[in-house]
A and B are shown apart, each in its own frame.
Chain A
């Protein structure tokens, strides 16, 4: 089953890895950090933070001044040695969950995250049920078992 493995690998990779939306930037030359590793982390973090004044853009993509402020803030925290998690916490504490482009899995987003798997399960169940019902309908009633036949004979014989 190498093929199945391949599919699984691909799926996993897609789930954990890339974004299918072209990453891009409105980062200005003067904002770029000297340390490439730190800058790469800054870019990753920025891509997941929403520009508060834009329509659905990340701060990494946005030209808005507020987005720039946030980008600089992220980089300052990075330089101060914060971890990615600490920076996200810091930004959320200041601006609320609204800045997260990937909502957290908390009670008020349970339905958001679980809806798709639930719909998938429900649809699968519906298909299986419909198929079974159709098959039963097509096969017609089951033939009588030997017990039933014997009983029928007895009834007919008695009648």
Chain B
């Protein structure tokens, strides 16, 4: 009964979404306020209905209702509760329900909290959101129904892929989807502006918080995925330029560019047409990410042809939305007025450089991801595009961008003074250079350019500090004055400085662990020892242990440093009986220098085990950097100017003020 309720709620949601798509647009055309106002309750109802469907599916999972096909395929009664819940989106059908749930959540948020938006803009935005919901609800109901029943109901389920039974991966998809789907807001606003043929700085102010929120979620989602890969895949890699990763990285790159161009539009009323285009591109890449991951086209072009129904459907959705939006853009964009002028050397100019490099870097990733698929589809020839390609194309674009980052915030709007900015950055440059030299002296081995990379990271950190120091006139004014300025500085300034500093941390982590990672591959018998990076590890032996839904063999390592005990590491190999597969759990000891990372391999002859030990210097900075970026986004989001309610409060006030003055 619960499953049927969920299914019925989905169908009702589709009906409501159709209303939400059609009536507000007719209302705005006929200038009928009542018809236009339908958008708000429709968006709210849609969210409630999809919410009911989602709860129904979750209930089926939690209660292990194996009469539902989807639950039987992806769950098992012995699974821990957390993974019963995360199993809801650990499969194709359920993840699509989560996708539309988040879509509806964003729509309902605009309906409920967007009361200060111009009615017509709000109605159009909700109508576009409704159309996306219609497409994806149709997709779910026609090709991927999660509520299909199974009769007779099997006694127990088939379980969830063990590598997915992990806390980081439980929350990776929701954040990723919140990012993907969050960009639909920017898309809907862009399309609504094109329908209206009107766009102003206020538009950017409304779009920016949504884009920022989506960007934060995507940042965290990608970082979680890479963190998971690091500790779960058993060899300490964290980014593979895998098509699935690229699929999430491309919207992130475009979304980052969008955040910056929306800034120019909000502050200076410039780059309007480009910002609209970028909003469309960003969401198109999100849709493409969904398509690439969900259609099976990545495993092989042929897998796509084997089960064409779903793939073709999403391809159709993509064609309609991307094609439609670009057609609308070509038709209406010339109507949009062009805004403020600026010199090439200016804050705007620096943000144009940011956009140029980010979008071209995004294009590089796009080409590298799609080219093998296209080539195989056209000529049948199979090639691989791996890390070397991206290191050659992506990295040379990103490095100049990172070098330029500290300059941007120091340049004035309209016309900046590059020389003055360079002077302010002198301290940062000297510190970075000093760090390079010290690094070179400490690590005489390893790639000679690694110290330059570390210097680049420090340059970003120091650049962020310089920005804040300049803005509060540190050392230039009295300390009380600086303190006063520091308190009055908008949170957005702190937010961007934090986010840029986060990038710096990430660069240091990436360079450090890539350049100076050390490793030992040994065949160890119990009692054997290994020395690595100043640590001594003693292999105590392997013992079996029973987990909630797996059997594991746990190795014990006594770790000492200069004879002092440090910790005990317990890498293990887990065997999942239900799913008939195994996972490797690394033993990781974390210190400020880096991670000691131990992996238990197979048992060899004569009781020895194949053991791999790595020391990954500074590796944690990668995810710390991502967290700082996320946090920076949050600080910026809490800025009053960005708050969705802020523009409204400011407007009537100024009106009454001018009225009073008259």
Chain A residues with a Cβ under 8 A of chain B: 6-7, 9-11, 13-15, 17-30, 32, 48, 50, 55-58, 61, 63, 96-103, 108-109, 111-112, 115-116, 119-120, 123-124, 127, 131, 134-135, 137-138
Contact = CB atoms under 8 A, between A and B. Distances in A.
B114 interface: no
Interface in B220-240: 234-240
Contact of B386 (A7, A27, A29, A50): A50
A123 B359 contact: yes
Contacts of B403: 7, 10
Contacts of A127: 352, 356
Given A22-B616, A28-B521, A28-B610, A11 B396 contact: yes
A100 B391 CA distance: 15
A116 B517 contact: no
Nearest to A29: B523
Interface stretch (B4-12, B146-154, B362-370): B362-370
A71 to B, nearest CB: 12
Given A7-B400, A116-B367, 13 more contacts: A10-B403, A10-B449, A10-B452, A18-B391, A18-B447, A21-B514, A61-B235, A97-B384, A116-B360, A120-B360, A120-B397, A127-B356, A137-B338
29 contacts: A10-B449, A10-B453, A13-B448, A15-B395, A19-B391, A20-B239, A20-B391, A22-B236, A24-B237, A25-B235, A25-B612, A30-B604, A32-B521, A48-B388, A55-B298, A56-B243, A57-B240, A58-B387, A61-B235, A61-B237, A98-B382, A101-B384, A112-B385, A115-B371, A116-B397, A119-B360, A120-B360, A123-B360, A127-B352
Interface of B: 234-243, 298-299, 338, 341, 344, 352, 356, 359-360, 363-364, 367-368, 371, 375, 379, 381-389, 391-393, 395-397, 399-400, 403, 447-450, 452-453, 456, 510, 513-515, 517, 519, 521-523, 601, 604, 610, 612, 614, 616, 619
B384 A100 contact: yes
A59 B332 CA distance: 51
A33 B298 CA distance: 36
List 3 tightest A-B contacts by C-beta distance, closest first: A101-B386, A13-B449, A102-B388
Given A22-B513, A98-B382, A100-B383, A131 B344 contact: yes
Contacts of B234: 63
A20 B395 contact: yes
Contacts of B338: 134, 137
A112 B238 CA distance: 25
A119 B299 contact: no
A115 B383 contact: no
B240 A21 contact: yes
B381 A108 contact: yes
Nearest to A106: B383
Contacts of A123: 356, 359-360
Contact of B341 (A9, A111, A138): A138
Contacts of A102: 386, 388-389, 392
B544 to A, nearest CB: 22
A109 B334 CA distance: 36
The CB with the most chain A CB atoms within 10 A, among B239, B385, B387, is that of: B387
Nearest to B242: A56
B592 to A, nearest CB: 19
Nearest to A31: B521
A56 B386 CA distance: 7
B504 to A, nearest CB: 15
Most-contacted residue by chain A among B240, B386, B517 (CB, 10 A)? B386
Contact of A15 (B243, B379, B396): B396
Contact of B238 (A10, A22, A97, A135): A22
Contacts of B389: 101-103, 112
A119 B60 CA distance: 49
B95 to A, nearest CB: 19
A28 B601 contact: yes
B363 A115 contact: yes
Contacts of B242: 55-56
A55 B229 CA distance: 14
B452 A26 contact: no
Nearest to A134: B341
Nearest to A43: B519
A21 B352 CA distance: 29
Contacts of A20: 239, 387, 391, 395, 510, 514
Contact of B235 (A24, A28, A115): A24
A97 B383 contact: yes
A56 B356 contact: no
Contacts of B359: 123
B299 A55 contact: yes
B387 A19 contact: yes
Contacts of B241: 21, 56
Nearest to A30: B523
A131 B274 CA distance: 13
Contact of A10 (B298, B397, B399, B521): B399
B341 A14 contact: no
A1 to B, nearest CB: 12
A50 B384 CA distance: 8
Given A101-B384, A103-B383, A119-B363, A112 B368 contact: yes
B385 A18 contact: no
Nearest to B517: A22
B514 A23 contact: yes
B356 A15 contact: no
Nearest to B235: A24
Nearest to A28: B610
B89 to A, nearest CB: 21
A70 B537 CA distance: 31
B322 to A, nearest CB: 18
Contacts of A14: 391, 395-396, 399, 449, 453
Contact of A24 (B236, B356, B385, B510): B236
Contacts of A99: 384
Contacts of A19: 387-388, 391, 514
A120 B356 CA distance: 8
A134 B612 CA distance: 61
